[in-house]
């Protein structure tokens, strides 16, 4: 098993679960921003753990560099565990002149020698379908997030999705914590990115609301949703997600909008990474490869 520079801690946790040998590639970053990767020769089945959060392109290229080195060393199988998979939201052209970039990412990983990808909460089924040259498996963080929520001592909780795209996710989450749920009506200006949310026609006064999403990046959707829930009288408001990018001052803006706390998985290492993915990733790797990974 190889722990990429972006995911050393998670790779360490997974390797301990599997009792697998862990190699941390030596990384050198030159003054012009180029990365150089170095590690001893490997073979057999290689599992690379590397999330591709910002700097996105750097982390993605590093993952491909590690994969190419494994392929050059004669690895029989190369699996890339990419908990946060960059460009997954670019699964179709939204405006004239755009492309479905995630398809390019799939082809680049394949060209580097990757045979299979394991990711967490892939943004859409459409995006997964574009991995025609690479086998892809998607792990849901909902059971883990729900288990964490059960220990939060919530008062008459209601699960909330910021938009219709997360309806199935919030339904599954609500079922696991034994609550009802809401799906808010959101609209986004594709040119400016501005988000608006309609206030729900539902009595939530005095209840704790849990916003459930796959990715929080700029925080626009969560902020608009939280402000709406506060207007309707929600007590405490929490945001839970698989991937907490929290770009710029997003966390501060989310707090100002009335969110009491943010809870995310450790797909991205930060102070909000309170839910560990190592066990579910290890389980999937065990099913697929046993304990033969290196």
Is 50 strand, coil or helix?
Answer: coil
H helix and E strand count, the chain: 9, 15
H-helix or E-strand spanning residue 127: helix 125-129
Helices (H), 189-242: 220-231
Q: How far apart are CA 118 and CA 81, in angstroms?
A: 5
> Taking the CB of residue 163, how many other CB atoms lie within 10 A of it?
19
Residue with token string 């501005």: 194
Catalytic residue, candidates 36, 69, 175, 186 = 186
> Is 253 an active-site residue?
no
| C-alpha to C-alpha distances, 67 to 3, 25, 40, 61, 292, nearest whole angstrom | 12, 11, 13, 10, 17
To the nearest 10 degrees (0 to 180), the angle between helices 101-111 and 56-72 is: 30
* Residues linked to residue 265 through DSSP beta bridges, in sequence order: 275
Asked if residues 23 and 46 have their Cβ atoms less than 8 Å apart, the reply is: no
Q: What is the DSSP string of 9-38?
A: HHHHHHHHHHT---B--EEEE-TTS-EEEE
| Active-site annotation, residues | 186
């Amino acid at each position: 098993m190889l722990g990429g520079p972006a995911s050393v801690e998670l790779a360490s946790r997974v390797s301990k679960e599997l009792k697998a040998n862990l190699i941390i590639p030596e990384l050198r970053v030159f003054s012009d921003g180029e990365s150089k990767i170095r590690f001893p020769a490997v073979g057999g089945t290689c599992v690379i753990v590397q999330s591709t959060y910002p700097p996105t392109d750097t982390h993605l290229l590093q993952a491909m560099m590690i994969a190419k080195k494994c392929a050059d060393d004669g690895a029989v199988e190369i699996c890339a565990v990419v908990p946060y998979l960059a460009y997954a939201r670019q699964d179709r052209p939204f405006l004239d002149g755009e492309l479905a970039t995630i398809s390019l990412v799939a082809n680049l990983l394949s060209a580097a020698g990757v045979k299979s990808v394991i990711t967490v909460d892939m943004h859409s089924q459409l995006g997964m379908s574009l991995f025609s040259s690479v086998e892809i498996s998607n792990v849901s963080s909902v059971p883990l997030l729900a288990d964490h929520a059960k220990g939060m001592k919530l008062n008459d909780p209601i699960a909330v999705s910021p938009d219709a795209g997360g309806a199935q996710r919030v339904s599954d989450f609500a079922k696991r914590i034994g609550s009802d749920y809401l799906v808010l009506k959101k609209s986004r200006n594709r040119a400016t990115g501005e988000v608006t949310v309609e206030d729900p026609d539902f009595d939530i006064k005095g209840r704790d609301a849990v916003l459930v999403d796959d990715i929080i990046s700029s925080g626009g959707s969560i902020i608009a949703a939280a402000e709406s829930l506060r207007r309707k009288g929600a007590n405490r408001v929490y945001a839970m997600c698989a991937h907490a990018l929290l770009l710029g001052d997003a966390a501060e803006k989310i707090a100002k909008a009335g969110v009491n706390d943010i809870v995310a998985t450790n797909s991205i290492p930060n102070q909000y990474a309170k839910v560990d993915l190592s066990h579910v990733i290890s389980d999937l790797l065990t099913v697929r490869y046993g304990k033969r990974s290196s």
